[in-house]
Amino acid sequence: MIRRTQIKKVLCVAEKNDAAKGIAQIMSNGNMRRREGHSRFNKIYEYEYHLFGQNVTVSMTSVSGHLLALEFKAPFQKWHSCNPVMLFDAEVEKYCPDTFVDIKRTLEREVRQCQALVIWTDCDREGENIGFEVIDVCKAVKPNVQVFRAHFSEITPNSIRRACETLTEPNLNISDAVDVRQELDLRIGASFTRFQTLRLQKIFPTVLADQLISYGSCQFPTLGFVVERFKAIQAFIPETFYKITVTHQTDEEEVDFSWKRHRLFNHTACLVLYQICMEVWTILLFQDPLATVTEVSTKPKSKWRPLPLDTVELEKLASRKLKINAKETMKIAEKLYTQGLISYPRTETNIFPKDLNLTSLVEQQTQDVHWGPFAQGILERGGPTPRNGKKSDQAHPPIHPTKYTSSLQGNEQRLYEFIVRHFLACCSQDAQGQETTVDIDIAQEKFSAHGLMIIARNYLDVYPYDRWSAKVIPVYERGAQFQPTAIEMVDGETSPPQLLTEADLISLMEKHGIGTDATHADHIETIKSRMYVGLTADQRFLPGELGMGLVEGYDSMGYEMSKPNLRAELEADLKLVSEGRKDKFTVLRYHVEKYKQVFIEAVREAKKLDEALSTYLGQALEFTPQDEMALELPLPVRKCPQCSRDMVLKKKKDGRGMYLSCVGYPSCKAALWFPDSVLEVSRDESICPTCRPNPVHKLKFKFKRGSLPPMMPLELVGCIGGCDETLREILDLKYLRGGRAGAQPASNPPSGSYLRDSQSQNQPRVQPPPRPRPESRKPVASVTSSPWASHPPAVGGSDVTVCNCGQEAIILTVRKEGPNQGRQFYKCNTGSCNFFLWVDQPEERGVGNRNATSWTPQPPRPSVGLGSGDGAATLCKCNEPAVTRTVMKDGPNKGRTFHTCPKPREQQCSFFQWADENMPPGTVCFLFKLWKM
């Protein structure tokens, strides 16, 4: 609801300064005051206007296209900052580029004095998104400002006044579609561009050393169309065909009759028919063949006037008829629009709305010396009667002139004249003619000839871009006979398709849903500027060697990335988002994940790209193992317990050792640092059946000699999700500390308690004195048993050590003689769990976070009999006595006994142990503790 009494001053923002000036001139009737803003390119126009039912002061200013840009956050902006695959999950942010900061300052200053904001940006997707950028900037300094949207298709008095009277709310759905497209284009383009540029520059250093090898989900299918046509021409095999022609020369004209069979590809068959035509008269009547007229028909023939002009047709016709490329065409059209000479040039509509006054538009053009008489003729014949198409975007009318001018020059004048002549032509009448068809028979072979007489040129008089020529033939009567001047059998060859013109390419992009009418020209310009394609002398597209190699390389991987399917699906989803029929975030997640999988497969198959390009660029250099490892994609091990993104294995900065990190760094600092005793660690394909959320992949470890007890193997596979007791002890996995903002993780963090905030790793290790047992602490209500869970909150705001049961732990002292005699440790108060923690281990007691609870959650471990006799029970992971079974299957282990879980198969834990091995479950961990002590 508009609070009209509270609105005294209104800020209006247009998309460009020219538009702001034109709108202000109309609204103020030329009585506006101009003053400077912070940006010297974007002026401020002030005037009084009757709006919201009252007189208000209006400040009209502008932006210069998009005010904000989308970029990765700082840690991901440099090309070598991360593996390109991480860009699919990296955090992005909108920011104001330096070149537009002055515009932003102007908006912030002006809106503080206003009670309402009216968006006058272009009424399309991009314009709506720019409008919301303006809204975000303004609301950041004045949250309570009222926001309205003006809808208009041309900068004319009627259109602007109508927009003022019908202000609405901005459409967030349309803006969301642009947000999705921008983020996807950034993620997809940056990841593929970095990958192929860094790789190919190393493999082909002499050719591509300094070249940016960009990728875009629109530009690549556009390149694919050019390559596909070129390869079709290369693969084309011409075929020889044969046909019979008949010519009749009279005193007035020479008439060519075409064969009804058209052509034959068999020489013998055609020769036989030709000889029949020639010999039947010679044998029977000893004279040359005669042709008999079997039919003479006459019917009206029309050449249709053009449809109203939409953006795609404007680009195609300007390219074909005026030889102005699509990029230049749209640039000129935008300028003509902001000058108020034509309607909005970005439209999908080819139907004139019923409320558009076409008569007044035609009247404006009667003063021109070239097409003025034709415009006058339209009015005299009853007014404009346009031929309408079938498309409407429900936003803008077809492109048409809105004001007459004779002061333009160069391509601006040529394009304006074309738009005017096209408008007058479609408001006129079809060209009318009379077509005559003559059919003849020679030895039962049928031939025909056509003649055309133009009765009324109509639209052709004002539209020189179309041709329709008359063709005169003599008068023939049915049943008459004549002697042909010549009967010949001629041959020819089929010809390949031609290379694509720009108009052809735009047609294919529109047909397959690649880009929009507003972006076709940009995508074409991109593949030209990247040298993926070139132009022949007659302005047809020819793929370059780099373009050919890229398309062939990616297509050989099986994804056909040069085909339009992937992008066309995205464009369809963006349309649904703009209509409010699909959720922005759902579409974004789906397409990010889809392109991420394509990227991962493309990197795995990268050698196919090298091979394809080596055909055109010469011998490819071999990648060193170090280079391959640098580009190798880290596969996810598990989901991060803090932010649910993937966690992957990474090398430490100094190259020695590995750690498990969340791909959401730096916003998420969750990391699992492996001690120096771990020489190698890699992801195993096996998945832990216990840990959640699935899948949690097991890891394959290789340890230093001497770092494990003598009876333990140096290579083992285990789960770091918390269920593997052996790894918990070896790696000292205790708990996960929350992710706070901090510096990049150190290259060699201290060992022990590795899954924690990276900042705390760099703090000095403090050895606090033993603490007395607290007497008045309340237990924590609930504790998560997973070693990946975040800390429970501290009770009472002080340090409390809590056992696995969620109870306050007690402090005991080692009495037994040995290196730990007198050392204090925490233990479960009730004995219900096997919680254990040394008091003097600061990294296990929350150093760097004094409000965090020192907490060592571990699932209950199975009891293991370690008596002196052989009767000790073997327990499975469920803490149940294991059963002994015998291998019955043929093989090396047939007859061998083993221990396993006693439960039914579908309920069994993963416990397994050969009966003839000395170490029952839990012994490893027990011996490892003894060995460390």
In which order are the strands placed within the sheet that holds 883-886? Answer: 883-886, 897-900, 912-914
Q: What is the DSSP letter of 98?
A: G
Please give the pLDDT value at position 253.
84
Amino acid at 828: C
Per DSSP bridges, beta strands 481-482 and 291-303 are antiparallel
Query: What six digits make up the tokens of 842?
Result: 């600061």
Instruction: Give the catalytic positions in this structure.
Output: 344
In angstroms, the first-to-last Cα distance of the chain is 75
Q: Which of 598, 592, 532 is nearest to 561 (CA)?
A: 598
Q: Which helix (H) or strand (E) holds 550?
A: helix 545-556
pLDDT digits (tens, 9 = 90+) for 523-553: 999 999 989 999 999 999 999 999 999 999 9
If you write DSSP's letter for every residue of 841-881 in order, what string do you get?
-GGGTTTT-TTBPEE---PPPPP----SSS-PPPB-TTSSB
Please give the pLDDT value at position 623.
65
Please give the pLDDT value at position 928.
55
- Give the integer Cα–Cα distance in Å for 304 and 432: 9
Please give the pLDDT value at position 656.
75
Q: Is 54 in contact with 4 (CB distance < 8 Å)?
A: yes
Please give the pLDDT value at position 565.
82
Please give the pLDDT value at position 283.
54
For residue 826, list its beta bridge partners.
Answer: 811, 837
With 0-12 / 13-18 / 19 or more C-beta atoms within 10 angstroms meaning exposed / middle / buried, residue 417 is: middle
User: Is residue 397 helix, strand or coil?
Assistant: coil
Please give the pLDDT value at position 738.
37
User: Is residue 132 helix, strand or coil?
Assistant: helix
Query: What six digits make up the tokens of 456?
Result: 């009324």
Count of CB atoms within 10 A of residue 78's CB? 9
Helical H segments across 294-406, by residue range: 311-317, 326-338, 358-364, 372-380
If you write DSSP's letter for every residue of 602-652 in order, what string do you get?
HHHTHHHHHHHHHHHH-PPPPPPHHHHHHHPPPPEEEE-TTT--EEEEEE-
Please give the pLDDT value at position 777.
34
Low-confidence ranges of the chain (pLDDT < 50): 1-2, 5, 735-799, 842-872, 918-921
Residues 6+ apart with CB under 8 A from 593: 88
Nearest 10 degrees: Cα torsion 40, 44, 45, 50: 160
- Give the integer Cα–Cα distance in Å for 547 and 930: 65
User: Is residue 588 helix, strand or coil?
Assistant: helix
Q: What is the DSSP letter of 559?
A: S
Q: Is the four-CA dihedral 265, 266, 269, 270 of positive or negative sign? A: positive
Please give the pLDDT value at position 662.
84
Q: Which of 324, 216, 248, 314 is nearest to 488 (CA)?
A: 248
Count of CB atoms within 10 A of residue 877's CB? 21
Please give the pLDDT value at position 734.
54
Q: Is 232 in contact with 497 (CB distance < 8 Å)?
A: yes
Amino acid at 916: D
How long a stretch of residues is the chain? 933
Please give the pLDDT value at position 867.
31
Q: What is the DSSP letter of 165?
A: H
- Give the integer Cα–Cα distance in Å for 325 and 331: 10
